[in-house]
A and B are shown apart, each in its own frame.
Chain A
Amino acid sequence: MHWKGRITPRVLAVTTAVVMATALSLVFFYAPLDAEQGFLQKIFYVHVPLAIVSLGGFIAGGVLAIAHLRSGDPRWDVRSYVAIHMSLIFGLAALITGSIWAKGSWGHWWVWDEPTLVSFLIVFLLYATYQPLRFAIEDPERQARYASVFAITAGAFVPMNFIAVRLSSAYVHPRVLGATGNLPAAMELTFVASLLGIALLYATLYALELQTKRARAQLRSLRRQEQAREGAYEHAPRRSAAPSLPLPAGASVGAITSMRAHPRAGREGQR
């Protein structure tokens, strides 16, 4: 993802805060209480968007991995890694909130004969192996390639899994996608606002993590340049599951010093 023009991470963060606040207001003060579940149904507005965004992020990770394999550019691998990393966090939140909802609604924290729950857990556990897989491969290039193959295969599994669950016969779990026509207009509006808020939260955290990775890559480059100037450079790669961005070409200590002298950089430093 590139942040060009006016869509900077800061603008994105502010938009996310506004949309999230609006969505929460709609959830608690606008959406009517569900006839069957009452107030407990409010969990729907956080649990379902979390699950949808998480699954969408896994698929996005696969698409970004395709771009990596096609271009060989390690930046696509970093983007794919961050997308999957964020989706794992959102997936964990979806599992916990779903479990809380199940306890309140069905009296059990987990129900093993419910295909939607179990299939989501399978997808989550599948992706939980992504980072150990990366960590197991020392060579960064091979690590990136194997991780991309994994991301594409697992990414293709996500929609197949979703369709399989749809086709299964047990419909204990409430249907959401394709069945929003059953929701009253006020509930549907609130759900769409919540989904947008969670998607924006994902995008903001994604941008934040990518920005941090870019800053770390620049710092690493500067440190190497400094060590090379002093003749003390030693190439000692550290095994890591997290990919690193390629060292920026032409980055110099002068460039970073002038970046820090920039008024915005100064303001951020004071915070």
Chain B
Amino acid sequence: MTALLAQLPALPLHEAGKYVAAAYITLLVLVVVYVAVMAMRVGRIQRELSALSERARGASAEGDSPSESGRA
């Protein structure tokens, strides 16, 4: 790994590097924040969906249990 890094061209980070780094980090941060917000929303939808499907399963099990046992 060290040998590979030594092969890479040196980046002049001491001069304009801080501005370049700030620009690319800005994009990264915006994307990460956006994806995190979306992940939270998806997580909430998934939780609500699980609760809903649990309730639906419970309701259908209550309603169908006599016929299912008859079939078995």
Contacts and interface: CB of A to CB of B under 8 A. Distances in A.
Contact of B45 (A37, A38, A212): A212
Interface in B1-34: 8-9, 11-12, 15-17, 19-20, 22-24, 26-27, 30-31, 34
Interface size class of B (residues with CB under 8 A): 20 to 34
A89 B19 contact: no
A223 B52 contact: yes
A269 B46 CA distance: 8
B49 interface: yes
A47 B38 CA distance: 24
Contacts of B41: 212, 216
A256 interface: yes
Interface in A58-114: 89, 92-93, 96-97, 100-101, 103-104
A256 B51 CA distance: 12
B56 A257 contact: yes
A223 B31 CA distance: 32
B38 A208 contact: yes
Nearest to A198: B27
B63 to A, nearest CB: 11
Interface in A147-176: none
Nearest to B49: A219
A253 B56 contact: yes
Contacts of A269: 46
B8 A205 contact: no
A101 B8 CA distance: 25
A232 B20 CA distance: 57
Interface in B39-53: 41-42, 45-46, 48-50, 52-53
Contacts of B26: 93, 96-97, 100
A201 B20 CA distance: 20
A216 B45 contact: yes
Contact of B27 (A93, A216, A253, A257): A93
Given A50-B27, A256-B53, A257-B56, A104 B16 contact: yes
Sorted nearest first, the 6 A-B pairs with minimum C-beta distance are A104-B19, A40-B16, A253-B56, A97-B23, A43-B23, A39-B16
Interface of A: 28-29, 37-40, 42-43, 46-47, 50, 89, 92-93, 96-97, 100-101, 103-104, 201, 205, 208-209, 212, 215-216, 219, 222-223, 226, 253-254, 256-257, 260, 269
Given A37-B16, A208-B38, 10 more contacts: A29-B9, A39-B12, A50-B27, A89-B34, A97-B26, A201-B31, A219-B52, A256-B49, A256-B56, A260-B49
6 contacts: A43-B19, A50-B27, A208-B38, A215-B45, A219-B48, A219-B52
